[in-house]
Amino acid sequence: MAAPRAWAVVAGVGPGTGASVARKFAQSYSVALLARKAENYEPVVNEINNGGGQAIGISTDVADENSVKNAFKVLQEHLGQGKLAAAIFNVGGKFVRKGFMELSLEDFESGWEANGRGAFLFSQAALPLLQDAVAASNHPPTLIFTSATAAMKGSARCAAFATGKFAMRALAQSLAREFGPAGIHVNHAIIDGVIDIERTKHYQFDHEDAKIKPEAIADTYWWIHTQPRTCFTNEIDIRPYVEKW
């Protein structure tokens, strides 16, 4: 009798990084794809299922506690005897670029809601399932946060976005120290550069390979997931070779 199939959950699935990460992890696991709008995850779910994999999509607002709880209730119903091998938080949130005195409270809190509150709710829902998988997984159960250079330094007109990303990094660091000794790999991934997706096709650069391929990010996330417990990478920078930083 075949062993129950392991799962990965990806929050924040759209046409770029989230979709590529879902495709990569679907080569080895069943995958649950979370996004606020069904039209963001449905094409990827259909692609994976039609290609012989197993995927489900769940409409989820990561900043809403009940929505996250419902998403993980649905996930657990599909898990059956399987285990959650990986959880990827790829939610960017609303990017507000305004001078500080132009920000409304709603603008400011938008960065925190997705990257701070959302990351907190997602982690609290995912970590019990990851803990349950420690003894059974081929690779250490993994929690990855997609982040940005804004988590390291704030820039002018980016107070809302940077505040949210700073919160995410602090959360990731705390979780790595709390859950790493139990065998769970927590990683904060700093993505710095323009990602090569349909929306950025018209962006012009001096070098034709100046954009980050989302497939390459997915490959890196899989590499992080497959690291042994003796060699955890808790933070990583990912950027094209010509990026100025």
Q: Which domains does the chain have, with CATH numbers?
A: 7-238 (3.40.50.720)
Mean pLDDT within 147-164: 93
C-alpha 121: how far from chain center? 13
Q: What does the pLDDT look like over 97-129, one tens digit per residue?
A: 999 999 999 999 998 999 999 999 999 999 999
The larger pLDDT score, comparing residue 136 to residue 60, is at: 60
Give percent above pLDDT 90 in the chain. 81
Position 70 pLDDT exceeds 60 = yes
Looking at the DSSP assignment, which residues form a beta bridge with residue 187? 144
Q: What does the pLDDT look like over 160-187, one tens digit per residue?
A: 999 999 999 999 999 999 999 999 999 9
Looking at the DSSP assignment, which residues form a beta bridge with residue 143? 87, 186
Kindly report which listed range (58-72, 130-144, 194-208) carries the lowest average pLDDT score.
194-208
The pair of three-digit structure tokens given for residue 167, joined into one six-digit string: 């919160």
Position 224 pLDDT exceeds 70 = yes
Q: Report the run of H or E that residue 8 belongs to, with start and end.
A: strand 7-11
- Reference 30, options 9, 61, 1; nearest CA is 9
The pair of three-digit structure tokens given for residue 195, joined into one six-digit string: 């990602």
Whether 21 and 88 have beta carbons less than 8 Å apart is answered as: yes
Euclidean distance between CA atoms 174 and 153, whole angstroms: 19
Kindly report which listed range (109-113, 179-183, 226-230, 239-243) carries the lowest average pLDDT score.
239-243
Mean pLDDT within 74-93: 94
Euclidean distance between CA atoms 124 and 132, whole angstroms: 13
Position 155 pLDDT exceeds 70 = yes
Position 202 pLDDT exceeds 70 = no
- Reference 122, options 155, 144, 154; nearest CA is 144
Mean pLDDT of the chain: 93
